Chain A
Amino acid sequence: DAGVTQSPTHLIKTRGQQVTLRCSPKSGHDTVSWYQQALGQGPQFIFQYYEEEERQRGNFPDRFSGHQFPNYSSELNVNALLLGDSALYLCASSLLDRGVLGYGYTFGSGTRLTVV
């Protein structure tokens, strides 16, 4: 049973460019959450998608946007990249309402984004 799959695993972009990261949730999961993990920090919640809509957003600017497709996969887009956007971006999938309470919040291995 495949877990959460993220692509690409590593990415280098130039300041000002745009980037798209992808996430395929664990089979049977319908909700996708994105987190940003800066070097030496804990992950921070970016937003969550369910039924192709953004349910809630963390404290991130509008340069960060996302999308969820009918097959529950998701994309994270970041525009006008800044050096400070360099981080590990984690995707987590779950069943709505059965997520963070430990019943099935599954993380992917992440995409390491470096902005130069």
Chain B
Amino acid sequence: GNSVTQMEGPVTLSEEAFLTINCTYTATGYPSLFWYVQYPGEGLQLLLKATKADDKGSNKGFEATYRKETTSFHLEKGSVQVSDSAVYFCALPIIQGAQKLVFGQGTRLTINP
């Protein structure tokens, strides 16, 4: 079935460090792929998306490239800030019957000044 696997967390980095959070997926066909972010005390927000293979989604300095060869959608940022501290979820949509999202387990990111 369709599933998403994220790297184990938590991740702690210093400000201005380079960030990579790994995400791999198993799916039928080539679904869209998403990264969601959950800031403390808030709901999930769509951070970026890619709708087809080789697409690159980007937002707020974050990027992720949809790689069908490796079934991956790793999240990267060149220089993280304290304000990036949050939980990040990789997700893919299921469009059979009701539209819904399948999420990875989440990666908690803490950025120290």
Contact = CB atoms under 8 A, between A and B. Distances in A.
Interface of A: 3-4, 33, 35, 40-45, 47-48, 50, 55-56, 58, 90, 92, 94, 97, 99-102, 105-110
A102 to B, nearest CB: 5
A101 B104 contact: no
A4 B43 contact: yes
A116 to B, nearest CB: 22
Contact of A42 (B43, B94, B99, B104): B104
A48 B4 CA distance: 21
B49 interface: yes
B93 A100 contact: yes
Contacts of B91: 42
Given A90-B43, A109-B43, A48 B98 contact: yes
A43 B44 contact: yes
B97 interface: yes
A30 B73 CA distance: 31
Chain B interface category by residue count: 20 to 34
B105 A41 contact: yes
Interface of B is mostly: strand
Contacts of A42: 4, 6, 89, 91, 103-106
Contact of A102 (B49, B95, B103, B106): B49
Contacts of A101: 32, 51, 93, 95, 99
A50 B100 CA distance: 13
29 contacts: A3-B43, A4-B43, A33-B98, A40-B106, A42-B91, A42-B105, A42-B106, A47-B98, A50-B98, A55-B97, A56-B100, A90-B43, A94-B99, A97-B99, A99-B99, A100-B32, A100-B93, A100-B94, A100-B95, A100-B100, A100-B101, A101-B95, A102-B32, A102-B51, A105-B101, A106-B43, A107-B45, A108-B43, A110-B43
